């Protein structure tokens, strides 16, 4: 009597060293995709490095360690003793943006003084989902990899960075100096309309019509050239464009969130070279 043989694969484990970079406009689902990749490829969640998590860790460490806070100010120019409104230490764009949030900063941080430092501005931006100055981001990223040797081995995911050509150049230099390879750059794409729809559901303090327009303009003017720079320096075979909007709907027209994310994840896995039969076997468990 002939019997069918069912093969169930409940774990896929990646072997090797290097970084998987997730890049795309705000709201494209980088965080959800990264978490799904960690689950499917058995990458520990602590090796999913989102820009937000990195910044939060930096703030926590600075508030707990005075020596580190001093280093942050002296080496990386994010000082608790320098005003964010100091024209000699900050760009006009940063000062203008900080001025527009002055009352919100004082309220959010519970300050009893009018002196708002660079470090205060970092805390406020991170706590409210605002973009921080590019130079700060590049400095903090470099500090992370230089001080975390365990990231020099094994696979990790860097979510939401780099965002500009200058940042990409600095990241590649840092990786080269530390002998960290890049496995794949995954460029997740959504339209401006799709980004706005997702942002309105998220409801962050800076998700206004004007700020969303500026954010998508930033993506077109800064992130796209960043991707082009990575293609030029890594080779096109290491940079993949993935449609991050692949909705699956119920009969009543409502969105099936998990199934929609799964479709995007499957495309990402294909770009990473994962055989289709492994994806199907894993999802059937």
Q: Are 270 and 276 in contact (CB under 8 A)?
A: yes
Q: Cα(7)–Cα(280) distance, rounded to whole angstroms?
A: 11
Nearest to 274 by CA among 45, 283, 153: 283
CA distances from 77 to 85, 162, 229 (A): 14, 20, 27
If you write DSSP's letter for every residue of 20-34 in order, what string do you get?
A: EEEE-STTS-HHHHH
pLDDT in tens, 203-246: 666 678 888 888 889 889 999 999 999 999 999 999 998 888 87
In the chain, domain spans: 18-144+154-283
Domain covering 18-144+154-283 in this structure, CATH number: 3.40.50.300
Q: Which residue has the higher pLDDT, 251 or 282?
A: 251
The string of pLDDT tens digits covering residues 85-126 is 999 999 999 999 999 999 999 888 887 666 899 999 999 999
- Predicted TM-score of the model (pTM): 0.78
Residues 6+ apart with CB under 8 A from 59: 122, 123, 126
The Cα–Cα gap between 115 and 72 comes to: 18
Give the Cα separation of 226 and 221 in Å (integer). 9
pLDDT mean over 36-54: 90
Q: What is the pLDDT of residue 285?
A: 42
């Amino acid at each position: 009597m002939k019997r069918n043989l069912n093969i169930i694969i409940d774990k896929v484990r990646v072997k090797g060293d290097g970084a998987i970079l997730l890049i795309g406009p705000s709201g494209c689902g980088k965080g959800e995709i990264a978490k799904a990749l960690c689950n499917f490829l058995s990458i520990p969640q602590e090796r999913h490095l989102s820009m937000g998590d990195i910044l939060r860790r930096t703030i926590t460490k600075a508030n707990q360690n005075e020596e580190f806070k001093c280093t942050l100010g002296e080496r990386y120019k994010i000082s608790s003793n320098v005003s964010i409104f100091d024209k000699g230490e900050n760009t006009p764009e940063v000062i203008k943006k900080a001025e527009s949030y002055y009352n919100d900063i004082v309220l959010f941080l519970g300050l009893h003084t009018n002196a708002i430092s660079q470090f205060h501005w970092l805390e406020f931006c991170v706590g409210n989902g605002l973009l921080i100055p590019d130079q700060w981001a590049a400095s903090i990223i470099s500090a992370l990899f230089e001080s975390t040797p365990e990231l020099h081995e094994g696979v990790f995911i860097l979510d939401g960075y780099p965002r500009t050509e200058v940042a990409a150049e600095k990241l590649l230099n840092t990786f080269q100096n530390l002998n960290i390879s890049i496995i794949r750059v995954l460029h997740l794409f959504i339209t401006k309309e799709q980004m706005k729809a997702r942002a309105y559901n998220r409801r962050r303090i800076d998700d206004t019509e004007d700020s969303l327009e500026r954010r998508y303009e930033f993506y077109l003017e800064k992130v796209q050239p960043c991707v082009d720079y990575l293609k030029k320096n890594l080779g096109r075979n290491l940079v993949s464009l993935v449609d991050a909007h692949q909705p699956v709907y119920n009969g009543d027209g409502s969105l099936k969130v998990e199934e929609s994310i799964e479709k995007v994840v499957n495309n990402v896995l294909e770009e990473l070279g994962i055989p289709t039969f492994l994806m199907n076997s894993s999802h059937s468990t």
